Structure 1
Amino acid sequence: MANYTKIYWRSSGVPTWGLVFLTIAALSAFLLAEKLQQRDPVVEENYTTMVTAARIMRDAMDTLQPIRAQREPINPEFDPQRSGLIGVSTSPVTTTRGGRESKQTTINPNWAAVAVKLMKQAGVEQGDKVAVTVSGSFPAMNLAVYSAIEAIGAEPVIIASASSSQWGANVPGLLWIDMERELRQRGKLSLKPIAVSIGGVEDRGVDLSAEGIALIKQSIDRADIPLLEPQDYQEAVAERVALFREYAEGEKYKAFINVGGGATIVGPPGIDDQFKSGLIYDAPARAFAVETVMGHFIREGTPGIHMIGIKGLAERYNLPLAPLEPVAVGNGGVYNATTYRRWLAAVLGLGLFGLTWLIVRSARINSVFQRTGEDGKSVRPMV
């Protein structure tokens, strides 16, 4: 057996001056990155519009709350803000499971500011045409998008689906299309879809009961919106694309905006997650394995704004997760007018890595494993 000398402690080999120098360099890099933040031109140029959109959304939320309370009692356990925009666990018009925390996170008027920022980043200006798809699953996020469009003055072409997942606009008699109808009647919003589908499997409610479909059709009749009745998934996609082309009237859409994860819009499971949340210009090849409305617009070079992955978006824009109390207009990182210079952060990070490598190499930290004791015995570190 080899004869080893036991060592119970060994130095890292990096001299004290090296550690001090690295610490100072890291602190200096951090302070430099903080000091040299750049102004966010999108926020600076559109701050007023962002606040206006948030105020429109807050007004709409306040309008809908008593309407919902009259229709169905609001359970504060599920809707802590008592907004009326959190639905129920199950109902005849409910299609699939839904994340309650994600729905609660959308109860914040500052999502309208997020929608404005994304639309402006996509190049949307007053008078520009935008294609929009919404479902009943995220009524508050629908409000955010509608409010942003109103504040910017864009010209939307909207196609909706009426059903909802859990905790969305799934209270019979007060579906999303009922909510927007109430807001139009009260002069809070002016937008109206050009068509609406049942939603659910194949966009025609295959997963719903006859009672649920009847309730949805009653809401559609009250809203006086043409009903789409596709025979299957492929026809549902083709019909929506055809309508968007017809209503474009020869103009190019500046953006395609989608709220939620409807299969006809972003594809079935396994495909839908290929379209990331937020502003997108492209997607992996797998995203185009089946025909989708989002895929159609991306292929045509139209920027997509995908309002899904709510908790991730909230973290990105520093908005609270599932707030328990009403959030004030103007509150959130989305309004910050400064951003980090990413190229500078990358350069500083590489510089620190290089300094660390040089100092460690100069100290020859690995030499301890190659060293031989003075008595000829191999040195084996114990820690």
Structure 2
Amino acid sequence: MAGPIGGPFPRRLVALSVLLGALLLIPPGLLDPEGLRALWRYRAARDAISRHLASRKLPLDPRYPFLGVDWSITTTTQGELGAKRLSHSPIWALRAVGWFKEAGLKPGDRIAIFSSSSFPALLASVICAAEAMDLRVTLVVSLGASSYGANRPEVPWPDMEEAMRSQGAIRARSVAYTLGGDGEVGGGIPEEGLQVLLESVRSSGIPLWRERVLQRKLELVDLIGPRLVVSIGGSAANLGSDPAVLDLPSGLVRPPANGGDGLVGMALNRGIPVLHLINLEGLNRREARRHPRWASLVGLLAFASTVWSFRRWRLE
């Protein structure tokens, strides 16, 4: 392979260069113990949903097991297929660990997750990340879902949650559900769809909040005193009616910030940081820019150039 000029070709240096190049492909957080645990938990959650769907003889795409359908009787709004597929990426479990660390969270800290059912894979990722870091999770989920979310009438979110819990993928259990839709009280969902959701709640044994949803969420926040509030999707009570929330960036938001008159804004007003997970495709692009790899690439190229400049060897 090599023609020596004063010495053999340095294979170990080449191996090191290859290793450094491979490290460029590793997502940030993957080498952290918490990140690895979050990934394993999320994989277990995906597998649990896949097994559950297979046991019910329901259509299953193993790449996107949480994926729902275009439209159904429990669908609230039109959603983007690309965003729902993107939400299945395990990178969100790693990013959630990173956000939790950025917020200064430690094992035993309490977080409150208020989520719609529109992004069940993302919700599973956040739960898995929180449990990988031994955070205490208080969970409230609205059950109506946009297109391709948890909008299959055969497997609404309570069914998914129980499947993951019963198979040991997650420990978290919702403390309450809401119906979602307009006002987060079922507005816009047809009666047949509401009956499906109500039956799933009855089967779960978990309380259903059908009125004063925002007030109940705020009362829960005041009661448990979370170190972080997580808002996933576009639940009505989470976002409120003030357009100021539309100017709030996705990702980790620290007070002071104007988040409008919904739960997100009220939590910020209380001095509680908010992990605001919405506009997933834009957030994905922004996170990719936050962790650029050009500097590492430049370093690798400089290393390779330095090695190549030594004329003690040459390739033949």
Q: TM-score, normalised by structure 2?
A: 0.78
Q: For residue 311 of structure 1, what is the amino acid of its counterpart?
A: E
Larger CA deviation: 274-283 vs 136-145? 274-283
Relative contact order: is structure 1 or structure 2 higher (C-alpha 8 Å, sep ≥ 6)? Answer: 1
**Cα deviation code 1:183-205 (max 9, x no counterpart):** 11111111011111111101111
Aligned counterpart for 2:142 among listed residues 146, 161, 166: 161
Q: Give the one of 24, 42, 55 matched to 1:57.
A: 42
Which residue in the other structure is 2:239 paired with? 266
Contact 1:114–1:334, Cα closer than 8 Å, also in 2? no
Residue in structure 2 matched with residue 148 of structure 1 by the alignment:
129
Q: Distance in 1 between matches of 2:119 and 2:39?
A: 17
CA distance in 1, matches of 2:32, 2:93: 12
User: Alpha-carbon deviation of 1:90?
Assistant: 0.6
Given that residues 54 and 111 in structure 1 are in contact (C-alpha distance below 8 angstroms), is that contact kept between their aligned partners in structure 2? Answer: no
Count of residue pairs brought into register by the alignment = 268
Q: Is the 8 A contact 2:79 2:148 kept in 1?
A: yes
Per the alignment, residue 18 of structure 2 pairs with none
Q: Contact (CA 8 Å) 1:106, 1:310: kept in 2 or not?
A: yes
The 1:334/1:60 distance shift into structure 2, 3 A limit, reads: farther
Shift of 1:308: 1.2
Q: Which amino acid aligns with 2:143?
A: A
**Counterpart check, 1:72 vs 2:58:** yes
User: 2:73 maps to which residue?
Assistant: 92
In structure 1, how many angstroms separate the alpha carbons of the residues matched to 2:173 and 2:83?
Answer: 25
- What is the aligned-residue identity percentage? 28
Pairing 1:187–2:172 present: no
Alignment correspondent of 1:175: 156
| CA-atom RMSD in angstroms | 2.5
Q: Among 269, 276, 285, which residue is 1:299 paired with?
A: 269
Q: Distance between the aligned counterparts of 1:51 and 1:143, measured in 2?
A: 15
How far has the Cα of 1:50 moved from its partner?
1.1
Cα distance, 1:105–1:118 mapped onto 2, change above 3 Å = same
Aligned residues of 1:116 and 1:149 also touching (Cα < 8 A): yes
For residues 262 and 243 of structure 2, the distance between their equivalents in structure 1, rounded to whole angstroms, comes to: 13
Question: Match of 2:284, as an amino acid?
Answer: A
In the alignment, which residue of structure 1 is the partner of 2:219? 242
Tell me: CA distance 1:95–1:271, structure 2 relative to 1, closer, same or farther (3 Å).
farther
- Report deviation, 1:335: 11
Query: Which residue is 1:312 aligned to?
Result: 282
Q: How far does residue 283 in structure 1 lie from its aligned partner after superposition? A: 6.7
Q: Distance in 2 between matches of 1:335 and 1:71?
A: 43
Give yes or no for contact 2:256–2:271 (8 Å, CA) kept in 1: no
Counterpart of 2:104 in 1: which secondary structure?
coil
Matched-pair contact (CA < 8 Å) for 1:113–1:334: no
3-state SS, counterpart of residue 174 of structure 1: coil
Distance 1:148 1:155 in 2: 11
What is the CA–CA distance in structure 1 between the aligned matches of 2:242 and 2:188, rounded to whole Å?
16
1:121 aligns with 2:102: yes
Displacement of 1:173 after TM fit? 2.6
Question: Could you report, residue by residue, the CA deviation over 1:43-98 in whole angstroms, capped at 9, with x for unpaired residues?
Answer: 59x81101210111011101211322435313xxxx5x542211101111100111
2:32 pairs, out of 37, 47, 53, with 47
Aligned residue in 2 for 1:136: 117
Instruction: Tell me whether 1:112 sits opposite 2:93 in the alignment.
Output: yes
119 and 57 in structure 1: CA distance in 2 versus 1, 3 angstrom threshold:
same
Instruction: Please give the alpha-carbon distance, in whole angstroms, between the structure 2 residues aligned to 1:86 and 1:300.
Output: 35
Q: Post-superposition shift, 1:148?
A: 0.7
Q: 1 CA distance for matches of 2:70 and 2:88?
A: 17
Instruction: List alignment gaps of at least 5 residues for structure 2.
Output: 1-27, 297-316
How many angstroms apart in 2 are the aligned matches of 1:196 and 1:226?
Answer: 6
- Distance, in Å, in 1 between the alignment partners of 2:125 and 2:38 is 8
Pick aligned residue for 1:280 from 253, 256, 260: 253
What secondary structure sits across from 1:317 in the alignment?
Answer: helix
Letter of the 1:48 partner, please give it. Answer: P
Conserved 8 A contact 2:42-2:169? no
- Output the amino acid matched with 1:244: V
Listed as ranges, the gaps of 5+ residues in structure 1 are 1-41, 320-332, 340-383
- Is 1:226 aligned to 2:203, yes or no? no
Contact 1:159 1:194 in 2 (8 A): yes
Whether the aligned pair in 2 keeps the contact of 1:132 and 1:257 (CA below 8 Å) is: yes
Say if 1:334 and 1:228 are closer, same or farther in 2 by CA, change over 3 A. farther
